[in-house]
Structure 1
Amino acid sequence: MGRLRAAPGEPLVQPFMDALDTINGIAERSDGFIWRLKSDEGNATSIAVEGDPRLIPNISVWRDVQSLEHFVWNTLHRAFYKRRAEWFEVLERMYFVMWWVPEGHQPSLDEALARLAHLEEHGQTDDAFGWSYLEDAGMWRTHACAQVAAE
């Protein structure tokens, strides 16, 4: 999740909002993509987290680590990730968590928030983890951007 620096529709975050359909389309056409959380509008920006309309979720399911890594670091997504400080505040708590899901399962926002809380409380475990927990993940080490916002 991330907290926008301004409300959706404000000029400050409009470049991010304008790119959502393109980035989400790349994800959906990517090898290994299975599912993503979205509202009737086609993205998750209208799904407020904790009653805060600027705190927005991003939940997706991928077949494997390599597919997710490819999308994150080797597509247009990376260029927008590099610009995240323009659109997102620095959060004082964990914002990113991964976990294994059974085939066919579509995680809920409540489930994601519970996994995030688990990670904050217990650190990385098989139930909640980040990139560094995954032996098969390596691109985050060489492709990640400087930690300037929402990390």
Structure 2
Amino acid sequence: MTTEYRLIHFNCARPLGAFNMENEFVRVFMAILPRIFSDADSFEGLHWHTHGIRRPNGDWYGMQHAFPYPDGLAAPNVCTMAGWKSIETLREFSYGGHTHPAGMRRLANQLDRSDGVNFVLWWAPRGERFTMQDGWNKLQSLRQNGPTKDAFSLDHLIAKPVAA
């Protein structure tokens, strides 16, 4: 049996300011999200994607349960995890897609980047499943240990394993 590999990415965006619909990041992000999801669903190089909100206490919520968000609670991490055919297809969608590039450029200066990198990659056998917490753990590994074969970045790519 041959093992095929998929590229998995996990990223977090934590907006500056309060997490409510008066925050420009939140308002714009929530408005473009359905279009990004639609683009993702029809993109051939993307196998699956999932999204969630991680509150400061570590609890996870689906995007549909983002609001109402408790007043006075620090902004959550808005997270995405997806399985890709290749690094090239990830780049094509992220930097050349219809909705994602323009929307993310518009919001880039409204993100809290104080925790360090917010994007991690790894190769996984096709069919292996992950939770959002698994992705969070990979991101923490990259933040603490730098790039490894199990958690790397676009700046420090690891080649796709050879199918065995």
**Residue of structure 1 in register with 2:103 after alignment:** 80
- The correspondence for 2:34, drawn from 6, 18, 21, is 21
Contact 2:45 2:85 in 1 (8 A): yes
Contact 1:62 1:68 in 2 (8 A): yes
After TM superposition, give the deviation of residue 106 of structure 1 in Å: 2.9
**Residue of structure 1 in register with 2:131 after alignment:** 108
- Number of aligned residues: 129
CA distance in 2, matches of 1:21, 1:102: 29
Deviating above 4 A after TM superposition, structure 1's stretches of 4 or more consecutive aligned residues are: none
Asked if residue 120 in structure 1 is aligned to residue 133 in structure 2, the reply is no
Q: Under a length normalisation based on structure 2, what TM-score does the superposition of the two structures give?
A: 0.69
CA distance in 2, matches of 1:32, 1:72: 11
Pick 1 or 2: higher relative contact order, CA cutoff 8 A, min separation 6: 2
**CA pair 53-11 structure 1, distance change in 2 beyond 3 A:** closer
Q: Which has the larger radius of gyration?
A: 2
Contact 1:8 1:17 in 2 (8 A): no
Structure number having the greater helix percentage: 1
- For residues 68-114 of structure 1, the C-alpha deviation after alignment (integer angstroms, 9 at most, x for no partner) is 11000101211112112354223332211111122112321221121
CA distance in 2, matches of 1:127, 1:32: 21
Paired residue type of 1:118: S
Local SS of the residue matching 2:21: coil
Local SS of the residue matching 2:151: coil
Unaligned ranges ≥5, structure 1? 39-43, 137-151
Structure number having the greater strand percentage: 2
**CA pair 60-4 structure 1, distance change in 2 beyond 3 A:** same
- For residues 23-48 of structure 1, the C-alpha deviation after alignment (integer angstroms, 9 at most, x for no partner) is 1111121111111114xxxxx3xx32
Paired residue type of 2:54: A
Identity value in percent: 26
**Residue of structure 1 in register with 2:90 after alignment:** 68
Aligned-residue Cα RMSD (Å) equals 2.1
- The correspondence for 1:58, drawn from 80, 91, 97, is 80
Contact 1:97 1:128 in 2 (8 A): yes
Local SS of the residue matching 2:120: coil
Q: Under a length normalisation based on structure 1, what TM-score does the superposition of the two structures give?
A: 0.74
Unaligned ranges ≥5, structure 2? 1-11, 58-73, 160-164
